[in-house]
Structure 1
């Protein structure tokens, strides 16, 4: 399957490392004009440098996905006169939080995770929808988590809840936007060592916990950020033209 995105404008959130970086580089390598954003400016510059090393370029901007005005400004700049073909809502995570008993969770901690994992996806989708409608089509791909389909390995209640809500948003927007030729789909990754947070989580399991985690995967191995990027490429491509409102678990088989 030879997938190309020449002449297309692709926006990727949370592109400073991990999935977002892999997704940004995958689209850029296939001819897309990529606009990548994150709150981590240093990480974004590393993503930009990696693209340059591989012989292609991408645009990077520091954007807080939880700030609707910042989102609108970024979308306006990135769309220019061409509009937006693909939006990948990847920004998310646990924001340094760890699993704690329910009664110890503050409202601030609860809402902080919702803002980056759910609100950001809503604000970006809201900003690109009129542009995609005007073009007569588009692709929105949300990155959730296996935690949104089951339970979080970290025990973080807000993370599991926000990812489940993002899956609900995916299905709802698929039905609302489908009449304009806009597809909305979701990739739900399993555990992947993709960033400092997941590295700390992996180390916390110890040798025995790591062994049990891998043995619980049908393919008996962990995935990589590229595995997630490949699923996104499929949803964004013409091969998925009649696929919308779907959740694809990319987890090695659970």
Structure 2
């Protein structure tokens, strides 16, 4: 299967490291014009350097709807309409698992803002141009936590990722008549960024071994495994697939 994105513009959020960086690099390697977005300016510059001239970095806080609308308008003016949107930004924002009675309103809302509202705002901003052209791809990056439970025990993270999966299915039906597919990749545990490295270390050798034993392939995956799934969903070959959730977790 030869997947190419020549002549396509891909907007990838959360592109400063981990899955987002791998996804941005994969699009650039396959000929896309990539707009890589994140709030981490230095790391985002590293992504752009690795991707080469095909990649334009843009600092963007996806939790701010007005900023998202302005950014997409500018991107469309400078690069043309967005063909592929990958909502990868998210995470636990440095939070750790705590009993429900200890969770502050601000902590709950912050995780929902970056994992769910941001995906909504970006899709809302790119949808009009996709509708006009009767073609588009939206790929959301959720988590195994959205299908089951969070290894971290963070209630808001599991809930927001489950909500993102629900958003995926709903938008697939709303946008499908315009030739736009909306799909979701649900990664298993991957050592992909500083947060997951801390989680891995906190497990200790016994916890790490126990986690590996729950995986059918008996090994962890890599960010490239997630990027490969995104490439398929974004491709022409996946044109009759929408509203789906693909678990990329080594087998459970």
TM-score range, shorter chain: over 0.9
CA distance in 2, matches of 1:106, 1:226: 35
Deviations 1:140-160 (A, max 9, x none): 000000000000000000000
CA distance in 1, matches of 2:43, 2:225: 21
CA distance in 1, matches of 2:75, 2:248: 29
Tell me which of 239, 243, 246 is aligned to 2:244.
246
- Which stretches in structure 2 are left out of the alignment for 5+ residues? none
Q: State the Cα distance separating 1:69 from its structure 2 match.
A: 1.1
Q: State the Cα distance separating 1:82 from its structure 2 match.
A: 2.6
Mapping of residues 36-185 of structure 1, within 5 Å = 36-52=36-52, 56-80=53-77, 82-185=80-183
> Contact 2:32–2:54 (CA<8 Å) still a contact in 1?
no
> Contact 1:28–1:57 (CA<8 Å) still a contact in 2?
yes
Compute the RMSD of aligned alpha carbons.
Answer: 0.8
Mapping of residues 178-193 of structure 1, within 5 Å = 178-193=176-191
Q: State the Cα distance separating 1:242 from its structure 2 match.
A: 0.3
Q: Indicate the residue corresponding to 1:9 in structure 2.
A: 9
Q: State the Cα distance separating 1:73 from its structure 2 match.
A: 1.4
Q: State the Cα distance separating 1:49 from its structure 2 match.
A: 1.6
CA distance in 1, matches of 2:196, 2:70: 31
CA distance in 1, matches of 2:201, 2:85: 33
> Contact 1:85–1:132 (CA<8 Å) still a contact in 2?
yes
CA distance in 2, matches of 1:73, 1:7: 23
Deviations 1:22-43 (A, max 9, x none): 0000000000000010010011
TM-score, length-scaled by structure 1 = 0.98
Deviations 1:54-97 (A, max 9, x none): xx430001100000111111111222273111000000000000
SS at match of 1:95: coil
Q: Indicate the residue corresponding to 1:27 in structure 2.
A: 27
> Contact 1:9–1:79 (CA<8 Å) still a contact in 2?
no
Tell me which of 224, 235, 238 is aligned to 1:237.
235
Count of residues in correspondence between the two structures: 251
SS at match of 1:74: helix
TM-score, length-scaled by structure 2 = 0.98
- Runs (4+) off by over 2 Å: none
Q: State the Cα distance separating 1:51 from its structure 2 match.
A: 1.6
- Which stretches in structure 1 are left out of the alignment for 5+ residues? none
CA distance in 1, matches of 2:44, 2:178: 33
